[in-house]
Structure 1
Amino acid sequence: AEFDYDPSKDPSIPGDRGLSFRTGDILYVTNAADDSWWQAKRITDGQEEEELGIIPSKSRVEKKERARQKRVNFNQGSGSRSNTLDRDKKKKKKFGLFGKSVDRKDTQSGDDSDNEQDNLEPVPSYELVTQHEVNHTRPVIIFGPFKELINDQLLNDHPDKFANCVPHTSRPKREKEVDGREYYFVPSREQMERDIQNYLFIEAGEYGGNLYGTSVSAVREVANASKHCILDVSGHAIRRLITAGLFPVAIYVKPRDVKWILDNMGDEANEERAQQMYEKSIKIEQQFGDLLTAVIEEETLNDVYEQTCAVIDREQSLEYVWMYRLKTSFFRHLSLFQRGSVISNIGRYQSISHTCDVEDALDEEHKAIQQTAYQFGQTEMAPFMYEWDRTEYFPKDTLRKAAQLGFAAIYCRDEYGGTGGTRLDASIIFEALSQGCVSTAAYLSIHNMCVWMIDAFASDANRAKWIPRLATMELFSSYCLTEPGSGSDAASLSTRAERKGDKYILNGSKAFISGGGESDIYLVMCRTGDQTPKGISCILVEKDTPGLSYGKKEEKVGWNCQPTRQVIMDDCEVPVENLIGKEGQGFEIAMRGLNGGRINIASCSLGAAQASIQKTGEYLKVRKQFGRPLEQFQHLQFKLAEMCTKLVASRLLVRKAALALDQNAKDTVPLCAMAKLFATDACFDVSIKMNYYSY
């Protein structure tokens, strides 16, 4: 909750079951089907309270506040703004790609007028949060004046609880220095530049011609030793650490005024410096206030220190933490190097590999999205990809971590838990994740397609029931179209659903279903009418439904971390409420779903090809024949150039198709088909010839 609510002061609330809450309370919404009123419980210490009450819906809160703001603006004059709210959120603008620009729709405003919107303050109502288990010692970041003093005191007073991490550097090791003690010495500047580009560092910089940086792995090493890693970094590092699943304790020491800083500076008191410290501190709160764990404002530095220790102890004692769901607006701030950074252009080689840059033609917001997804893929997926495939392990925990970043319902509306992104957002994300594990990213893309079908076509009751649990991947989903006797010819499917009273009775089987036997819900395309496409409907079938069974797991040459089975229905009884859309609308749902699905799977192919070219480029630099590196041989240069051309052409076509789908362009359907046809074939060729991915 982002506001206080007292139902006794709300005369419009139905009945007497209103639930009161305050800003910062965690609310579990049990029913959000009504446009104006939701049913909810408070969450205290990670547990649901028994009291179930009624709260105003998100749209009701925002519409009511918008109406109030308009009245205030009218009374004050069109040139003034209401000062009731002190937040400053800018309206989001869509990227410009292929010479086009689109406004990103604001689904929460309740107001379609851009002119009126520009004169209204943003409305605090509710923000989606997710619960994360804490099974490690959390890093600590302190902001504000005297942070160095507090950091030193924590390290000196409690060496058994706090430690610094070992930084990395590209400079050569000096005499008597030990790798892993003073620094981790990276073999070459080029290697460290690649690691920086691959988002393995939370911060980095250049000094004296050498690179220095703090890596995610170094912070994790301290956490694994059961100590708090004390970090002196910028606020942007908070998001990096959240993305890595380390969930830092971020404490802001808030100065009361400039005089408070002067009084605590002691012999070094300097009014000009105190003023600078104060202004810098205020910017921290303005820029990163939504990410801070605690704000401490005390009379003396000793009180600040004691309160800091208390906050750290309290936060570490928690088994779970609540974090805002990362949405597309959030990604804009995730760049590793901000404007003006001394190494913001590090490693931007003018070479063949540069022409395959995944960030080409993307705006800053989409670059940040790509970087976040890529970092997740490299830290949470790539190190385990081979073992997952070898042991046929389905990485549900990793997929749930991806959902915490908003990757499970990317282009679904945020009303019930979707991320509110676009098809281009999704394409960028799936390409980046596929560089870590193609198979896992491909399953996630199918799950996204299923959630979108529910969001786009289901009743409000079904949307409220299923999307929140699918968006967090509490539940997994599968798409069931293909049958033993029909594939792309969706209109010829034979699985049938007969309605009997308040149930559908399903009979038939679906083949090659990704997630079969593991997923919790199955969107089944079945025939409820005649033999034409208009006789097809979409029905949601739950995993434990009587009459639902599965074939044996398919034996595949790859993609083994994504289980594939037949899904068999033998007099399978499903409530009529599980109909998605209307009877006879299934063919439309299937075809519209496949438009996005084709872009998604083509994007996964892009990721495989990108990783293949990257690995090949690294190999050509280090492998030598006849006294020189392979990259100097003209034949191999030509071959690499040919593969890069195929990759870049594929990426442009895929992103153009994604943009067309976002804009509902008239050529959307053929572009989606072209993208899937061209990109999968071209990227398969790249992967095989680069000899990195073989399927």
Structure 2
Amino acid sequence: MTDHGPQPVERQLPTEEARDLLALVRDLVQREIEPGAAEEEEAGRFPREVFRLLSASGLLALPYTEEFGGGDQPYEVYLQVLEELAAARLTVGLGVSVHTLACHALAGYGTKEQQAEHLPAMLGGGLLGAYCLSEPSSGSDAASLRTRATRDGDTWTIEGTKAWITHGGIADFYTVMARTGGEGAHGITAFLVPGDAPGLSAAPPERKMGMKGSPTAQLHFDGVQVPDARRIGDEGQGFAIALSALDSGRLGIAACAIGVAQAALDEAIAFTAGRRQFGRPIADFQGLRFMLADMATQIEAGRALYLAAARLRDAGLPFSKQAAMAKLFCTDAAMRVTVDAVQLLGGYGYTADFPAERYMREAKVLQIVEGTNQIQRMVIARHLAGAESR
């Protein structure tokens, strides 16, 4: 295997503080994540200690305000951190994105009292979160979810099953969408559920094509009781909260996808430069050079797209359409780039001795999570047709 690692990406960062942050992340990646990534993934080991280190370093709280322990960084910077983490190990990069998603509801819609009570521990106290929207019978049609929360005085009792939950069974807290009213989007409410709540249990983790180190599991809510003080936002506001979180989360997925694609390109460049056939490096052959050029162009275009959407978000402007575009383009690009990386490595690319095959397996899930790419096309098309068509 080549010992060539991901090459530093030239980045345009808004402040000296942001540049120092990226330098810290790259150092942490080289010391704590890259060395054992392939072995840890193959063994299916979740890097909980890495997440504790990220929390202690402030890297689980970057886009949130300093008032409750956040890093107060713009999304333009946060997403580039995600890209660096995902390039080293997608389990880590995606895990940070999911944790950020799980904190979104409380940070954006919780009361000041709720935020003061819970956010400091969630952002910098070593805790890890998960986001619970999908169910066995409601994935793309999330508004049809069946998990129900019934109120009795100041207590809610939650019954039902959530599916495809990243960090399911190991998270310290779950942001849960449950039905509290009638059918459809307006009958859903958000709750903050402790990971050790009585009646909450996880099924065995799913056996997946890639990301074996990141547990994905069903969660069963069997009479889980939650005080009304852990209800986030108004009754019936949960679906709007969920969609708001997903707009930001899709940018996280886009950044992770570009990180995986960049890692695959780096590996392909190193291999083709070192592999000799017909008396010269195979990187000298025009057909392979053109493949590398196309891969690099897709990565640069994807990076520019997710950063443009992030800047809209940072400016307080609408960015839902651009987030869907970024998620769609970046994850499709990651799939193409990783497939080409395997091809460029030839037979070696098909073996587990090189990371290209892992990148390809991991890229596939990014086209599916947080809204399949078919759903992203629907979101984009609705925006193009105008509000009256939604």
Write out per-residue CA displacement over residues 301-327 of structure 1, whole angstroms, 9 at most, x where no aligned residue: xxxxxxxxxxxxxxxxxxxxxxxxxxx
Describe how 1:18-33 pairs up with structure 2 within 5 A: none
Partner AA of 2:168 in structure 1: G
Aligned to 1:694: 360
Question: Is residue 419 from structure 1 mapped to residue 85 from structure 2 by the alignment?
Answer: no
Question: Is residue 673 from structure 1 mapped to residue 324 from structure 2 by the alignment?
Answer: yes
Alpha-carbon contact 2:178-2:189 (below 8 Å) kept: yes
Describe how 1:340-419 pairs up with structure 2 within 5 A: 358-363=9-14, 365=16, 366-419=18-71
Instruction: Tell me the CA shift for residue 569 of structure 1.
Output: 0.7
| CA distance, structure 2, for counterparts of residue 370 and residue 639 of structure 1 | 29
Describe how 1:127-142 pairs up with structure 2 within 5 A: none
Write out per-residue CA displacement over residues 514-541 of structure 1, whole angstroms, 9 at most, x where no aligned residue: 0000001111001111213121110111
Partner AA of 2:273 in structure 1: K
| CA distance, structure 2, for counterparts of residue 518 and residue 410 of structure 1 | 22
Count of aligned pairs? 343
Describe how 1:83-98 pairs up with structure 2 within 5 A: none
Partner AA of 1:615 in structure 2: E
Question: Is residue 520 from structure 1 mapped to residue 186 from structure 2 by the alignment?
Answer: no
SS at match of 1:649: helix
TM-score when scaled to structure 2? 0.84
Partner AA of 1:688 in structure 2: V
Instruction: Tell me the CA shift for residue 655 of structure 1.
Output: 0.7
Aligned to 2:377: none
Aligned to 2:335: 684
Alpha-carbon contact 1:479-1:514 (below 8 Å) kept: yes
Identify which of 120, 123, 132 aligns with 1:468.
120
SS at match of 2:36: helix
Partner AA of 1:694 in structure 2: M
Partner AA of 2:109 in structure 1: F
Instruction: Tell me the CA shift for residue 363 of structure 1.
Output: 4.1
Question: Is residue 453 from structure 1 mapped to residue 105 from structure 2 by the alignment?
Answer: yes
Identify which of 244, 259, 262 aligns with 1:592.
244
Identify which of 610, 614, 628 aligns with 2:266.
614
Alpha-carbon contact 2:147-2:160 (below 8 Å) kept: yes
Instruction: Tell me the CA shift for residue 364 of structure 1.
Output: 5.1
Partner AA of 2:261 in structure 1: A
Alpha-carbon contact 2:202-2:218 (below 8 Å) kept: yes
Aligned to 1:559: 211
TM-score when scaled to structure 1? 0.48
Instruction: Tell me the CA shift for residue 612 of structure 1.
Output: 0.9
Partner AA of 1:623 in structure 2: R
Describe how 1:205-284 pairs up with structure 2 within 5 A: none
Partner AA of 1:382 in structure 2: E
Aligned to 1:23: none
Aligned to 1:351: none
Partner AA of 1:680 in structure 2: T
Partner AA of 2:283 in structure 1: E
Partner AA of 1:689 in structure 2: D
Aligned to 1:508: 160
Write out per-residue CA displacement over residues 173-213 of structure 1, whole angstroms, 9 at most, x where no aligned residue: xxxxxxxxxxxxxxxxxx9xx88x96xxxxxxxxxxxxxxx
| CA distance, structure 2, for counterparts of residue 589 and residue 426 of structure 1 | 21
SS at match of 2:209: coil
Alpha-carbon contact 1:399-1:473 (below 8 Å) kept: no
Aligned to 1:603: 255
Instruction: Tell me the CA shift for residue 510 of structure 1.
Output: 0.5
Partner AA of 2:89 in structure 1: C
| CA distance, structure 2, for counterparts of residue 474 and residue 374 of structure 1 | 21
CA distance 1:638–1:596, shift in 2 (3 Å): same
Write out per-residue CA displacement over residues 647-689 of structure 1, whole angstroms, 9 at most, x where no aligned residue: 11111111111111112223x1100001001100111110121
Write out per-residue CA displacement over residues 427-486 of structure 1, whole angstroms, 9 at most, x where no aligned residue: 100001111101221011110121232111112222122211122252211000001111
SS at match of 1:538: strand
Partner AA of 2:167 in structure 1: G
CA distance 1:464–1:484, shift in 2 (3 Å): same
| CA distance, structure 2, for counterparts of residue 633 and residue 520 of structure 1 | 52
Alpha-carbon contact 1:390-1:560 (below 8 Å) kept: yes
SS at match of 2:35: helix
Describe how 1:160-239 pairs up with structure 2 within 5 A: none
| CA distance, structure 2, for counterparts of residue 369 and residue 607 of structure 1 | 17
Write out per-residue CA displacement over residues 221-276 of structure 1, whole angstroms, 9 at most, x where no aligned residue: xxxxxxxxxxxxxxxxxxxxxxxxxxxxxxxxxxxxxxxxxxxxxxxxxxxxxxxx
| CA distance, structure 2, for counterparts of residue 622 and residue 432 of structure 1 | 25
Partner AA of 2:360 in structure 1: S
Partner AA of 1:455 in structure 2: A
SS at match of 1:383: coil
CA distance 1:684–1:378, shift in 2 (3 Å): farther
Question: Is residue 499 from structure 1 mapped to residue 176 from structure 2 by the alignment?
Answer: no
Describe how 1:319-330 pairs up with structure 2 within 5 A: none
Aligned to 1:542: 194
Alpha-carbon contact 1:374-1:435 (below 8 Å) kept: no
SS at match of 2:151: strand
| CA distance, structure 2, for counterparts of residue 412 and residue 463 of structure 1 | 11
Partner AA of 2:335 in structure 1: F
Higher relative contact order (CA 8 A, sep 6+): 2
More divergent stretch after superposition (374-383 vs 441-450): 374-383
Alpha-carbon contact 1:517-1:550 (below 8 Å) kept: yes
| CA distance, structure 1, for counterparts of residue 134 and residue 104 of structure 2 | 19
Instruction: Tell me the CA shift for residue 360 of structure 1.
Output: 4.2
| CA distance, structure 1, for counterparts of residue 174 and residue 24 of structure 2 | 30
In structure 1, list runs of 5 or more residues that go unmatched. 1-190, 199-356
Describe how 1:476-487 pairs up with structure 2 within 5 A: 476-487=128-139
Alpha-carbon contact 1:359-1:367 (below 8 Å) kept: no
Partner AA of 2:200 in structure 1: L
Instruction: Tell me the CA shift for residue 589 of structure 1.
Output: 1.0
Alpha-carbon contact 1:550-1:566 (below 8 Å) kept: yes
| CA distance, structure 2, for counterparts of residue 363 and residue 499 of structure 1 | 47
| CA distance, structure 2, for counterparts of residue 437 and residue 578 of structure 1 | 33
| CA distance, structure 2, for counterparts of residue 472 and residue 585 of structure 1 | 27
SS at match of 2:198: coil
SS at match of 1:485: coil
CA distance 1:360–1:545, shift in 2 (3 Å): closer
SS at match of 2:321: helix
Alpha-carbon contact 1:409-1:452 (below 8 Å) kept: no
Alpha-carbon contact 1:502-1:576 (below 8 Å) kept: yes
More divergent stretch after superposition (450-459 vs 598-607): 450-459
Alpha-carbon contact 1:412-1:451 (below 8 Å) kept: no
| CA distance, structure 2, for counterparts of residue 473 and residue 512 of structure 1 | 25
Instruction: Tell me the CA shift for residue 361 of structure 1.
Output: 3.8
In structure 2, list runs of 5 or more residues that go unmatched. 343-355, 362-390
Alpha-carbon contact 1:408-1:473 (below 8 Å) kept: no
